[in-house]
Amino acid sequence: MCQPKIMNTQKGRTMYEDEYVDSAFEWSFLELTDRMKQFISDDEHSVIYKNNLDKPVQYHRISDTGIPRRQSGEIEDADSGHKLEIPMQASVRLLEFKETINGWDFNIFTLNSLTNGHAMQAMCYEIFKSHNLLNEFHLQESQFMRFIIQVEKHYRRNPYHNATHAADVLQTVNCIIKQTGFVKLMSNLEVFCILLTAVVHDIEHTGTNNNFHNNSNSELSKLYVVSILENHHLRVGLRMMAEFKILQFLTKEMYQDFKFMMATMILSTDMANHFLLITNVKLMLLTSTKCSTRIRIQRIMMFILHAADISNPAKPWGVHKVWVSLLCEEFFLQGDKERELKLPVSPNCDRNTANIATLQIGFMQTFGRETFDVLDAMVEKEIVNAGAVYTGYKPWHSCLEENMTKWNGKWKYIKYEQIEELLIETAQHRMSIPTHQTTVRVKHRSSLNKLCCCFCCRNKPTFRQEESSYAFSIDK
């Protein structure tokens, strides 16, 4: 099979005719402000490195059949000595997940239940090992998993924007690049970057949107001028990578490329930039480029992460309806806060007036369909231009249409509480959680949501966070 034809488009190089006509496209929303650049630079110089990164650490993973098991169900890694108590039945079910981890119909909630609320740990271990990225970038397994464990802790227990969402986005990104064949066009650094960015893309999310931060004059709104949450995710993500020396073996040039790619991808997840992003990718489609380029590939990476971030309407119905319940609860909790603070209630955040089906149908028609149509066209064009084989993998369209049909049918007038009760009944039927654990409510937060994000942690001490766990300074 012929190697993909990818042109290096470094600065100063002369472009051939229409090879990269879109180089002059307007991507202004990706430019970091001078203030943000200074923040990141200051963080790089003030970072405090973690010690004992090579010391063994306990973490959740999907085990291999070759790992010795004891009768108690304890799994031991013969090489590293890592141990983790997992029921034997759960261990067997985890092995089944290893076979489907690259598929679109993967159920992140079942994995979350089997790993006691730590789907991120298991997902990161499997995906990064499958690409051989730890060896490629000279990372010790214990060092990398310590980093992942801390990232997971820095995700808050929001109904929707939590560590489970990050694990789902990671799995979705991996599925898209692998199943379409796009990964063959990417360098190892690009694969490493898009997967790590998926892991941290919503870190320390407050469970409220940028509009809320602006209206409430929050501390984060004083730090970041535009894309408040996205800039914060970027800053915290880079800071944590530095603390755990995740990028220590990158050359200076590779580090600058990594930082730029990560910044563009995270900022592209701001929904305020959605239509500008769509427009620019469509303009890329109109060029008559006869080969792929590094810059084009990196821009498609931005779009892949954005598509994965809003992919829940295009997932199988059983997964999609759970995400809908969680997202609605987070919206409504924000609306409750806004009402309490006497602020205007944001669109879709009023639990008294919102129609769930209308919200979902509107989102699918406005954002979902076009996003995945453009994704298909862009990925196919780049793969063909590079001389590689396009697989034609696109199961998201059938899921999107099926979900829209359901919302237009018997689910059209269903209320939020009814969705929740149906999901709890489904969870009990599938025996994914014991019946007696689905009856407790704490304020607005149902036990269903504890199942979906960090259910098994409900008896652990609450980890309270301010808007950021880092003491970032605010300019006076």
> DSSP string of 69-97?
B-TT-EEE-TTT--EEE--HHHHHHHHHH
pLDDT band at residue 31, thresholds of 50, 70 and 90?
A: low
- Residue 170 and residue 235: Cα distance in Å, rounded? 19
Instruction: Residue 317: name the closest of 392, 394, 376, 405 by CA.
Output: 405
pLDDT at position 423? 63
Q: Strands 441-442, 445-446: parallel, antiparallel or unpaired by DSSP?
A: antiparallel
What value does the mean pLDDT take over residues 427-446?
40
pLDDT tops 90 at residue 16? no
φ/ψ (deg, to 5) at 410 = -70, -15
Residue 177, phi then psi, degrees to nearest 5: -70, -30
Band of residue 131 on the pLDDT scale cut at 50, 70, 90: very high
Q: Hey, what are 163's tokens?
A: 């560590």
Residue 54 has pLDDT above 80, yes or no: no
Per-residue model confidence (pLDDT) at position 45: 79
Predicted pLDDT at 293:
77
Residue predicted with more confidence, 242 or 473: 242
DSSP state of 334: H
Go through the domains of the chain in sequence order and give each one's CATH number: 89-430 (1.10.1300.10)
pLDDT (mean) for 222-237: 93
Count helices and strands (H / E) in the chain.
Answer: 20, 6
CA–CA separation, 304 and 266 (whole Å):
11
Q: Are 9 and 293 in contact (CB under 8 A)?
A: yes
Count Cβ atoms below 10 Å from residue 211 Cβ, excluding itself: 17
pLDDT at 374 over 80: yes
The type of residue at 141 is E
Strand, helix or coil for residue 441: strand
Instruction: Give the pLDDT of residue 35.
Output: 76
pLDDT at 403: 95
Residues with Cβ within 8 Å of 151's Cβ and at least 6 positions away in sequence, in order, are: 120, 163, 166, 199, 200, 203, 237, 240
User: What average pLDDT score do residues 349-359 get?
Assistant: 90
For range 246-266, the mean pLDDT: 94
Q: Which residue has the tokens 């949501």?
A: 449
Beta-carbon contacts of residue 62 (< 8 Å; ≥ 6 apart): 94, 95, 97, 98, 101, 122, 125, 126
CA distance linking residue 450 with residue 444, whole number of Å: 12
Pairwise CA distance, residues 225 & 272, whole Å: 14
Give SS3 for 361.
helix
| Amino acid, single-letter form, for residue 368 | G
Single-letter residue type at 298? Q
Q: How many CB atoms lie within 10 A of CB 184?
A: 16
Pair 50, 146: CB distance under 8 Å: yes
CA 174 to chain centre: 11
The whole-number average pLDDT for the span 360-367 is: 95
Show which residues are catalytic: 161
- Rg over alpha carbons for the chain, rounded to the nearest Å, is 22
b/e sequence 232-258, b meaning 16+ C-beta within 10 Å: bbbbbbbbbbbbbbbbeebeeebeebb
Q: Which helix (H) or strand (E) segment is 428 a member of?
A: helix 416-429
Quick one: pLDDT at residue 435? 38
Q: 48-62, 182-196, 331-345: which range is least confident on average?
A: 48-62
Cα–Cα dist 5/412, whole Å: 49
Which pTM was predicted?
Answer: 0.84
User: Is pLDDT at 116 greater than 80 in this prediction?
Assistant: yes
Calculate the alpha carbon distances from 461 to 18, 205, 467 in Å: 59, 20, 19
**Least reliable range by pLDDT among 95-99, 146-150, 243-247, 397-401:** 95-99
Q: Where does residue 81 fall: left (phi above 0), alpha (psi -120 to 50 degrees), or beta otherwise? A: left
pLDDT of 424: 64
**Per-residue confidence at 206, pLDDT binned at 50, 70, 90?**
very high
> Do the Cβ atoms of 213 and 162 come closer than 8 Å?
no
For residues 330-337, average pLDDT:
95
Share above pLDDT 70 across residues of the chain, in percent, rounded to a whole number: 73
